[in-house]
Amino acid sequence: MRLARIKGEGSGDAVYHCISRTVGGQLLLDDLCKARLVALLMPLARFCGLEVITYCMMGNHFHLLVRVPEAVALSDEELLLRAEGFYGSQGFLVVLARDAMQGAGKGRMPAHIRQTLLGRMGDVSVFMKEFKQRFSRWYNRRTDRFGTLWAERFKSVLVEDSPEALRTVAAYIDLNPVRAGLVRDPKDYRFCGYAAALVGQKDLQQGIMGVFSESSWGRAAARYRESMFVQAGVGGHCSKRALDRESIRSVLLQGGKLSEAEILRLRVRHLTDGVALGSREFVNAIFFRYRPLFGPKRRDGARPIRGAPWSHLSTLRDLRVDALG
């Protein structure tokens, strides 16, 4: 069952893991394309008022972890600054708004322009639509092609805004290139949020600091790296040998236990298809809020992530598969 886009409580203040794939899963995104996606992402997020916690651009898909904050009132001046930051000082709407505010409008932005700009803010669906459309237009011009580039509108999982849920999903996203065998350490993959934060991008540093409730980037970076690598056998600042995918599966089949970081090196469908992810209380609250969307026999919403060491996390969709199967 495909569910409508599920939202957090209130008018905002929700975190989403968003995923989109190229048509047919084709490897259409080369390094220049990935760099273009990154270049579009952060200015658009700032304009829309969304916080990018982390991201990863791959050859045939991308992952975003974004926070949609509670709606705040913006003055005309603040709205104009945001618009200039994204569209540029000579953008069509920017010029119209600025001329009106400096001329007969007596410092006020025309209502229809203000509404148009506000309509593009604070909504993850609008954000994703504009992000993907802008990239598609660039890509089609560059490659002299036409038609759809993306296989789907986009998938999203509503993630509880808690340290446990956020660090799990963030690490899963930043470890994508490790799972794909592109690098042994995500710091070496320049199209992910972790690498961008390490080279000084303040927005991404703030995202990771927020996950760990740290005011110091140094402490947050150390804790995040530890959450990805400690006891994982993944190459990094230590000399441990990295376990490959088949070695991990072999250990599991033999009944051995693996660390969370090792398991994050495998694809875990619950983190991309689970609809909502978090504590039992969080998932059940979402379930009862959207109760009419589910069958009459279902009594609660929280479903376990089978086969993974995340007893503190549940998902809304019962995938009926072992997370690591």
**In which band, very low, low, confident or very high, does the pLDDT at 297 lie, cut at 50, 70 and 90?**
confident
Position 32 scores a pLDDT of: 97
Average pLDDT over residues 303-314: 83
**pTM, to two decimals:** 0.83
> What are the tokens at 323?
């997370």
Closest CA to 59 of 172, 170, 182, 157: 182
Closest CA to 42 of 210, 206, 205, 203: 203
Helix intervals (H) in the chain: 31-48, 76-87, 92-102, 111-118, 124-143, 163-174, 176-179, 193-198, 202-211, 217-229, 245-253, 260-263, 270-273, 280-289
Residue-range domains of the chain with CATH: 14-71+125-267 (3.30.70.1290), 76-121 (no CATH)
Position 234 scores a pLDDT of: 42
* Model confidence pLDDT, tens digit, residues 216-258: 999 999 999 888 875 334 433 333 334 455 655 555 555 555 5
